Amino acid sequence: MLTTLHSFDRTNGGNPYAGLVQGADGMLYGTTFDGGAYKHGTVYAISQSGTFNTLHTFHLTDGSGPVGGLMEYDDGSFFGTTEGGGANGYGTVFQLSPYGPLTTLYSFDKTHGAYPFGALVQGTDQNLYGTTNGGGANGDGTIFQITSGGTLTTLHSFDSADGSAPYGGLVQGTDGNFYGTTEAGGPNNDGTIFRLSMGLAPFVKTLPIFGRVGATVTILGTDLTGATSVTFHGTAATFTVLSPTAIKATVPAGARTGMVQVTAPSGTLASNVPFQVL
């Protein structure tokens, strides 16, 4: 049975294009593309029972149109992008604490990219990675890295031949590389699938990233066949290898919040983010 938890009315936001993300505190967080006091979008929190709270209303100078949604960083703050607005009108990267004001970390200037549509992803090196739909050296969009403090580096400028307009953002595979797509470009101008290597080591990923003692967790990785141990912050867990890329484990008694580690024939693989024991 479906239950409507909240209906937007423009004053508290409108047109929530991006999906929700559940924070470590159990609340759900999201963005609206427009609406709010200044009609440039909002960031909000909503409980699973439907209690709604607007956390920030964009007013163009700090961004406009947060399309890509939010991601939660290790420290509990949230990062996101707006596709427009900011100091130069080409979009922003922002940080927001559930208990503090929004900070604009970077305003795109077209030279280093413009119009970031996709969500950010936190790499295993603790830096944030994303894409812009346009701008860069050739006007076809970019891949960028930004630190949690706001230092941005352009990693790649698309040139149409290798793709154009990477709307969808990035995902870091458990092999350590980043993967994504472009909406257009490539030899047929119908888009591309690309891989970007930053030299980061393989890791494992838990689904979900939180749970209680006794919960079943799926652990994704590479070359997991022959794994000999799984630990949650040092506490051994019972597990079953399902395939070369997946393990099923049970959160053990005495487990505390921290990294999950898998000992495999290729070495010890740590999780990309700490597992939250509820």
Average pLDDT, the chain: 95
Asked if residue 14 has pLDDT above 90, the reply is yes
Determine the pLDDT at residue 1: 94
Mean pLDDT confidence for 203-220: 94
- Report the b/e string of 60-85 with b at 16+ CB within 10 A: bebbbbbbbbbbbbeeebbbbbbbbb
Tokens for 164? 């154009």
- Do β-strands 276-277 and 267-270 pair in parallel, antiparallel, or remain unpaired? unpaired
Asked if residue 25 has pLDDT above 90, the reply is no
Determine the pLDDT at residue 62: 96
Percentage of residues in the chain having pLDDT higher than 70: 100
Mean pLDDT confidence for 69-96: 95
Tokens for 154? 């352009």
Cα–Cα nearest to 52, from 75, 29, 71, 82 = 29
Asked if residue 98 has pLDDT above 90, the reply is no
Map out the domains of the chain with their CATH numbers: 21-196 (2.130.10.10), 205-277 (2.60.40.10)
- Banded pLDDT at 75 (limits 50, 70, 90): confident
